[in-house]
């Protein structure tokens, strides 16, 4: 069996290994990694012919990977203009926060009766790791533990489509490209919000906990002062349009 791996910037054919990813997935992962690292920047144009040559693949897996990225709103495929890498705007961020608030609120409410003491204990431990990460200015560790915190209840939600959409939106918010710095007071406030949420969960207040996720933790209005600082590029774009 022929399978493919990324090697020295090219997708290379190899024999064996039944469980490796399809070529399209390899190309998709490569493009996403380049976006996260900032090698492919928002506003750039992806030339399909040049990119397929660079990777050593045909246009078909590249096109399929780009179609997936378009479905996730990372790029726009424009007739006769090629593939444009989408810029993240404050309007986008506000929309994503509204969607994530609704999704996580619904997920928490749907799985609330399945949350066990061990799940709450795990969430508290993850929140403590976030405290340690921020104390050490380790944003990557903070970010990973923050995702794991939310995934404790998202994983208990039976709606797999909901979790997929939520994860895609978070990648769009945080990985395009991954910010090098962070707003420390925002992360500290987020940790406090997690503690408040856990208190509501421990008291069995399902409706209050669900509302708190939507109306505080994922509220654009509540978080806007931090969003303006963290997404400074998006904020500057908004200001230039207004002037």
| CA–CA separation, 73 and 121 (whole Å) | 35
Residue range(s) defining the domain that contains residue 223: 90-242
Identify the domain boundary among 85, 114, 129: 85
11 forms bridges with which residues in the sheet? 6
DSSP 41-81: -TT-EE-HHHHHHHHT--HHHHHHHHHHHHHTTSEEEETTT
Structure tokens at 234: 């998006």
Identify the domain boundary among 54, 85, 116: 85
Among 42-46, 64-68, 181-185, 213-217, the least confident range? 181-185
pLDDT digits (tens, 9 = 90+) for 115-129: 999 999 999 999 999
The answer on 94 and 74 residing in a single domain is: no
- Give me the number of domains the chain comprises: 2
The answer on 66 and 182 residing in a single domain is: no
Whether residue 16 has pLDDT greater than 50: no
How crowded is the C-beta side of 56, counted as CA atoms within 13 Å? 11
75 forms bridges with which residues in the sheet? 85
Determine what percent of the chain is predicted with pLDDT higher than 70: 84
Q: What is the pTM of this model?
A: 0.82
The answer on 194 and 212 residing in a single domain is: yes
Question: Which CATH number belongs to the domain containing residue 23 in this structure?
Answer: 1.10.10.10
The predicted pLDDT at position 15 comes to 42
CA dihedral sign of residues 64, 65, 67, 72:
positive
Question: Which CATH number belongs to the domain containing residue 116 in this structure?
Answer: 1.20.120.530
The predicted pLDDT at position 231 comes to 86
The answer on 6 and 55 residing in a single domain is: yes
The answer on 152 and 124 residing in a single domain is: yes
| Residue 162 DSSP label | H
Identify the domain boundary among 51, 67, 85: 85
The answer on 197 and 120 residing in a single domain is: yes
DSSP H helices in the chain:
23-37, 48-55, 59-71, 90-111, 117-135, 139-154, 160-174, 184-202, 206-212, 220-230, 232-242
Confidence of residue 82 (pLDDT cuts 50, 70, 90): confident
Collect all residues with Cβ–Cβ distance below 8 Å to 159 and sequence separation of at least 6.
Answer: 106, 107, 110
């Amino acid at each position: 069996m022929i399978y493919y791996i990324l090697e020295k910037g090219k997708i290379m054919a190899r024999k064996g290994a039944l469980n490796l990813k399809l070529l399209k997935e390899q190309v998709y992962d490569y493009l996403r990694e380049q976006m996260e690292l900032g090698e492919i920047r928002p506003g750039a144009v992806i030339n399909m012919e040049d990119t397929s040559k660079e990777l050593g693949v045909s246009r078909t897996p590249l096109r399929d990977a780009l179609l997936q990225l378009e479905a996730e709103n990372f790029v726009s495929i424009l007739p006769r203009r090629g593939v444009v890498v989408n810029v993240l705007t404050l309007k986008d961020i506000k929309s994503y926060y509204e969607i994530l608030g609704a999704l996580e609120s619904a997920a928490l409410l749907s799985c609330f009766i399945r949350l066990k003491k061990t799940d709450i204990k795990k969430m508290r431990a993850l929140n403590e790791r976030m405290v340690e990460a921020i104390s050490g200015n380790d944003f990557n560790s903070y970010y990973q533990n923050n995702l794991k915190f939310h995934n404790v209840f998202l994983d208990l939600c039976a709606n797999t489509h909901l979790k997929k959409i939520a994860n895609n939106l978070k990648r769009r918010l945080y990985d395009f490209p991954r910010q090098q710095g962070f707003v420390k007071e925002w992360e500290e406030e987020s940790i406090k919000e997690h503690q408040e949420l856990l208190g509501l969960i421990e008291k069995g207040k399902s409706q209050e906990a669900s509302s708190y996720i939507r109306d505080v933790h994922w509220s654009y209005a509540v978080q806007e002062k931090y969003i303006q600082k963290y997404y400074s590029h998006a904020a500057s774009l908004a200001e230039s349009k207004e002037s």
